[in-house]
Amino acid sequence: MPNVIKLSLDNNGNLFQSDKGNTDVGNMAFRTVKWVVIDNKIASFKIVPISPTNPWTDLPSNQHGKNQQLTAIFGVDPQEWEYKIEWIDARTSSLHIIDPKIVIQPVIDWFIAPIYIAIFFACITGILAVKVKNLRAKLRSGLANRSVQNLPLS
Protein backbone atom coordinates (compact mmCIF):
# COMPACT_ATOMS: atom_id res chain seq x y z
CA MET A 1 0.00 0.00 0.00
CA PRO A 2 1.55 3.31 -1.02
CA ASN A 3 1.82 6.51 0.95
CA VAL A 4 -0.95 8.57 -0.66
CA ILE A 5 -0.54 12.34 -0.77
CA LYS A 6 -3.85 13.98 -1.59
CA LEU A 7 -3.56 17.35 -3.31
CA SER A 8 -6.25 19.98 -2.76
CA LEU A 9 -6.53 23.74 -2.30
CA ASP A 10 -6.88 25.39 1.11
CA ASN A 11 -9.18 28.35 1.82
CA ASN A 12 -6.49 30.77 0.58
CA GLY A 13 -6.12 29.01 -2.77
CA ASN A 14 -2.76 27.47 -1.87
CA LEU A 15 -1.91 23.86 -2.63
CA PHE A 16 -2.47 21.67 0.42
CA GLN A 17 -0.91 18.22 0.73
CA SER A 18 -2.46 15.66 3.05
CA ASP A 19 1.04 14.88 4.39
CA LYS A 20 1.58 18.61 5.10
CA GLY A 21 4.65 18.56 2.84
CA ASN A 22 6.61 15.96 4.85
CA THR A 23 6.39 12.33 3.79
CA ASP A 24 8.44 9.60 5.42
CA VAL A 25 9.16 6.63 3.14
CA GLY A 26 9.46 3.74 5.60
CA ASN A 27 12.02 1.01 6.09
CA MET A 28 10.28 -2.13 4.83
CA ALA A 29 6.71 -1.32 3.85
CA PHE A 30 5.23 1.78 2.27
CA ARG A 31 8.18 2.35 -0.09
CA THR A 32 5.84 3.85 -2.69
CA VAL A 33 4.49 7.40 -2.77
CA LYS A 34 1.43 8.34 -4.79
CA TRP A 35 0.26 11.91 -5.36
CA VAL A 36 -3.43 12.27 -6.26
CA VAL A 37 -5.47 15.39 -7.13
CA ILE A 38 -8.74 15.33 -5.16
CA ASP A 39 -9.81 18.92 -5.86
CA ASN A 40 -11.34 19.92 -9.21
CA LYS A 41 -9.80 23.41 -8.77
CA ILE A 42 -6.43 21.82 -9.58
CA ALA A 43 -6.18 21.21 -13.34
CA SER A 44 -2.96 19.15 -13.15
CA PHE A 45 0.47 18.90 -11.56
CA LYS A 46 3.90 17.41 -12.10
CA ILE A 47 6.81 16.46 -9.85
CA VAL A 48 10.08 18.27 -10.59
CA PRO A 49 13.19 16.85 -8.87
CA ILE A 50 15.57 19.30 -7.17
CA SER A 51 17.91 16.77 -5.50
CA PRO A 52 20.81 15.70 -7.74
CA THR A 53 20.17 11.98 -7.16
CA ASN A 54 17.11 9.95 -8.07
CA PRO A 55 16.03 7.56 -5.27
CA TRP A 56 13.12 6.17 -7.32
CA THR A 57 12.92 3.15 -9.62
CA ASP A 58 11.64 5.49 -12.36
CA LEU A 59 12.06 9.18 -13.00
CA PRO A 60 9.05 11.36 -12.22
CA SER A 61 6.94 11.99 -15.28
CA ASN A 62 7.68 15.29 -17.01
CA GLN A 63 4.03 15.51 -18.06
CA HIS A 64 1.28 17.21 -16.07
CA GLY A 65 -1.45 14.90 -14.82
CA LYS A 66 -3.88 14.11 -12.01
CA ASN A 67 -1.67 11.52 -10.28
CA GLN A 68 1.92 10.33 -10.05
CA GLN A 69 3.38 7.26 -8.33
CA LEU A 70 7.03 6.61 -7.46
CA THR A 71 8.65 3.63 -5.71
CA ALA A 72 11.92 3.96 -3.77
CA ILE A 73 14.86 1.88 -4.99
CA PHE A 74 15.38 -1.06 -2.61
CA GLY A 75 18.98 -0.34 -1.60
CA VAL A 76 18.89 3.46 -1.87
CA ASP A 77 20.84 5.38 0.77
CA PRO A 78 18.78 7.22 3.38
CA GLN A 79 18.18 10.75 2.24
CA GLU A 80 15.95 13.78 2.20
CA TRP A 81 14.68 14.09 -1.36
CA GLU A 82 13.87 17.61 -2.45
CA TYR A 83 11.43 18.32 -5.25
CA LYS A 84 8.90 20.85 -6.48
CA ILE A 85 5.28 20.40 -7.36
CA GLU A 86 4.25 22.54 -10.29
CA TRP A 87 0.48 22.78 -10.42
CA ILE A 88 -2.03 24.58 -12.58
CA ASP A 89 -5.04 26.34 -11.08
CA ALA A 90 -8.10 25.22 -13.09
CA ARG A 91 -9.90 28.51 -12.39
CA THR A 92 -7.15 30.84 -13.66
CA SER A 93 -4.88 28.51 -15.70
CA SER A 94 -1.93 29.99 -13.79
CA LEU A 95 1.11 27.91 -12.83
CA HIS A 96 2.13 27.67 -9.13
CA ILE A 97 5.08 25.98 -7.42
CA ILE A 98 5.63 24.57 -3.92
CA ASP A 99 8.72 22.85 -2.45
CA PRO A 100 7.89 19.88 -0.19
CA LYS A 101 10.36 17.20 1.01
CA ILE A 102 10.34 13.43 1.32
CA VAL A 103 12.54 11.56 3.79
CA ILE A 104 13.59 8.15 2.50
CA GLN A 105 14.66 5.72 5.22
CA PRO A 106 17.09 2.83 4.68
CA VAL A 107 15.53 -0.55 3.97
CA ILE A 108 16.75 -1.81 7.35
CA ASP A 109 18.67 0.35 9.78
CA TRP A 110 22.11 -1.22 10.26
CA PHE A 111 21.79 -1.33 14.04
CA ILE A 112 18.47 -3.18 13.74
CA ALA A 113 19.59 -5.71 11.10
CA PRO A 114 21.53 -7.92 13.58
CA ILE A 115 18.44 -8.08 15.78
CA TYR A 116 16.33 -9.31 12.86
CA ILE A 117 19.00 -11.88 11.97
CA ALA A 118 19.22 -13.11 15.59
CA ILE A 119 15.43 -13.46 15.82
CA PHE A 120 15.40 -15.38 12.52
CA PHE A 121 18.06 -17.83 13.68
CA ALA A 122 16.42 -18.24 17.10
CA CYS A 123 13.13 -19.16 15.38
CA ILE A 124 14.84 -21.64 13.05
CA THR A 125 16.76 -23.19 15.96
CA GLY A 126 13.56 -23.54 18.00
CA ILE A 127 11.69 -25.16 15.11
CA LEU A 128 14.55 -27.61 14.48
CA ALA A 129 14.77 -28.49 18.20
CA VAL A 130 11.06 -29.35 18.31
CA LYS A 131 11.34 -31.44 15.13
CA VAL A 132 14.35 -33.39 16.49
CA LYS A 133 12.53 -33.96 19.80
CA ASN A 134 9.46 -35.31 17.96
CA LEU A 135 11.63 -37.53 15.76
CA ARG A 136 13.41 -38.99 18.80
CA ALA A 137 10.08 -39.66 20.49
CA LYS A 138 8.82 -41.48 17.37
CA LEU A 139 12.01 -43.54 17.17
CA ARG A 140 11.81 -44.51 20.87
CA SER A 141 8.15 -45.40 20.50
CA GLY A 142 8.91 -47.56 17.44
CA LEU A 143 11.79 -49.34 19.20
CA ALA A 144 9.66 -50.00 22.28
CA ASN A 145 6.89 -51.50 20.13
CA ARG A 146 9.42 -53.79 18.38
CA SER A 147 10.86 -54.95 21.71
CA VAL A 148 7.41 -55.88 22.96
CA GLN A 149 6.60 -57.71 19.73
CA ASN A 150 9.81 -59.78 19.94
CA LEU A 151 9.26 -60.98 23.52
CA PRO A 152 8.96 -64.77 23.78
CA LEU A 153 5.58 -66.14 24.71
CA SER A 154 5.72 -68.08 27.93
Q: Residue 23 maps to which CATH number?
A: 2.60.40
Averaged pLDDT, 125-144: 85
Q: pTM for the whole thing?
A: 0.66
* Pick from 12-21, 76-85, 102-111: least confident: 102-111
Query: What is the DSSP secondary structure assignment for residue 145, as one 8-state letter?
Result: H
Do 36 and 67 touch, CB atoms closer than 8 A? yes
Q: d(Cα 106, Cα 121) in Å, to the nearest integer?
A: 23
* Total number of domains constituting the chain: 2
Same domain, 80 and 154: no
Domain closes at, from 62, 82, 104: 104
Range of the domain at 116: 108-154
Q: d(Cα 96, Cα 84) in Å, to the nearest integer?
A: 10
Q: d(Cα 103, Cα 128) in Å, to the nearest integer?
A: 41
